[in-house]
Structures are given as structure tokens and as C-alpha cells.
Chains A and B, each alone.
Chain A
Amino acid sequence: MLSVFKSIPTHMDYKGQKLAEQIFQGIILVSAVIGFIYGLFIQQFGWTVYIMLAGFTVSCFLTLPPWPMYRKNPLKWQPAVPEASGENRDKPQENQKKKKHK
């Protein structure tokens, strides 16, 4: 069953990771400030915690799944070396190894 979860792609590129971190930090801080002020106003600390938890849930939804906005700057990999010259290099080495065994 674990292989099903491991096969779902969850990666983000670097700029996407930075954006995700900024988003969740911003949301949690804003909900913390709102919660603190509201709790102080109605004199119930329970509401401060509820508003914080709501901010936590919203930022979970926004930053945990890999949305397309986090994949806008993919890494530029080097172009693949063509296969033909690679095979030529391998074969003479294999022949040399076989000769040495004998």
C-alpha cells in the first residue's frame, strides 16, 4: 500500500518551495495576530486558538499539495548525451576486459 503513496509526485522546484514557505508563514502569522486581537477583545483565549487552527488548516491546504504555481520554474537539466557514441565507448572496453581474463 505504501508504494501507492510513494508513486504520487509531490515535488516542487526551488522557487516554488520558497514561495510555499513564504505563503504558510504569512498566513499563520496573520491568523495569529487576528486571533490574538480578537481573543483579547472578547476575553476568551479559546477563540485565539481556534483562529490559529483555522489559519493552520488554510495554509495546509495551500502549501502541502504540489499546486502548478509551485512548478513554474523547473530546473534546467543538461541535455542528454546521444546514445550512439556512448555505446561505442563501452564496447571496446568490454573486449579488452575479456582478453585479460584469458
Chain B
Amino acid sequence: MNTVLSRANSLFAFSLSVMAALTFGCFITTAFKDRSIPVDIHVSKVMIKNVDDFTGPRERSDLGFVTFDISANLQPIFDWNVKELFLYLTAEYSTKSNALNQVVLWDKIVLRGYNTKLNLRDVKSKYFFFDDGNGLRSNKNITLTLSWNVVPNAGILPLVMGSGHKSLAFPESYETAKSY
């Protein structure tokens, strides 16, 4: 510690160790928190088509179109260890060929400091709601749930499902393409 460089080395290393301890403290204060909140989902329009599916093994698959409303207050989830939330809306159902199907229809990134009250109306799905086959037609029970991935400053990234879901049924017949 006789020279400036030696003192600077010692000081800097000590500061980094203390910073690491503070980060661990930040993690420990929020590690066991329950990050689930109630979510309200409404569905305004449901339609189904039978179209060519170039990504699957068969000629034609069912393609669903869902228009929905989501409202949730995300403020309680954000604490000092949350950097952003990655929200995604999942449709879950079972068909004759597959026991469990889960399709992500829509997602959104909510950063810290931005508007945390989610009040979206008449949202169309972002991603195609293709079925592996023709199992969507007259499927009575399709459950929509909103989940999120919590991205922290320090620690584990949990996947949390919101409490509150919406069940919907697809119609019996396909909509034929309109020709003008």
C-alpha cells in the first residue's frame, strides 16, 4: 500500500466485493416472492378456417382467429429486482390426435418504468393459431391464459401464470373465403 497504484488496486477490489454482496442481498430480498396477479381476459370474436399449411406434414390444417381483450394491473410485480416482464398469451386445448396442445398467440414486453396498467381492447393474435391437424373445429374447450417471464436484475427468471383464464369454443363450420 506504499504506492498509489497499490492503494487503488486494494480499494477497487474491495469495492467490487462489496458490490457483489449488495447484488446478492438484492436477490435474497425478492427470491421467494409470489409474482402472480389476477388477469381478466375477454374474447370478442372467434373464427376458424381450413387452409394450406406449408409448415406441417398434411395438406390442410385448421387456422383459428381469435380477437380478445386483456386487462391486468402489473404494478405489484415490479420491485427493485425486476428489469422487465415478457407477457405471452397461451391457448391450451386437447384434440383427438394430441392430448395437450399449447399455442402462443400474442406477446408483449413491458419494461420497468413504463405503463404497467394493461388495458387492451380488440387485440388480434400476433402469431398464427395453426392446429396440428383439424382438431379446432367444434372444439368446445380452448383455455386462454396470460403468463409472464420475470427478467430480474439478479437471480432466477421464473415463468409465472396469471390467475384467471377464459374458455372459448370454436364454431362448427369453417368460414369460406369471400370473393369480391
Chain A interface residues (CB < 8 Å from chain B): 10-12, 17, 20-21, 24-25, 28-29, 32, 35-36, 39-40, 42-45, 48-49, 52, 56, 59-60, 63-66
A40 touches B29 (CB 8 A): yes
What sequence of 0s and 1s flags, for each residue 153-165 of chain B, a beta carbon within 8 Å of any chain A beta carbon? 1000000000000
Interface size, chain B (Cβ < 8 Å): 22
Of the stretches B13-21, B65-73, B97-105, B135-143, the one at the interface is B13-21
Q: How many A-B residue pairs have CB under 8 A?
A: 64
* List of B residues within 8 angstroms of A45 by Cβ: 26, 80-81, 153
Pairwise interchain contact A28-B14, C-beta atoms closer than 8 A: yes
Complex A-B: 25 CB contacts under 8 Å: A10-B3, A12-B2, A24-B14, A28-B14, A35-B22, A36-B25, A39-B26, A40-B80, A42-B80, A44-B80, A45-B80, A45-B153, A48-B26, A49-B19, A49-B22, A52-B15, A52-B18, A52-B19, A56-B11, A60-B11, A63-B7, A63-B11, A64-B4, A64-B7, A65-B4
A43 / chain B contacts, CB cutoff of 8 Å: 78-80
Given contacts A12-B1, A43-B79, 17 further A-B contacts (CB under 8 A): A20-B7, A28-B11, A28-B14, A32-B18, A35-B22, A39-B80, A43-B78, A43-B80, A45-B80, A45-B81, A48-B22, A48-B26, A52-B18, A56-B11, A56-B15, A63-B11, A64-B11
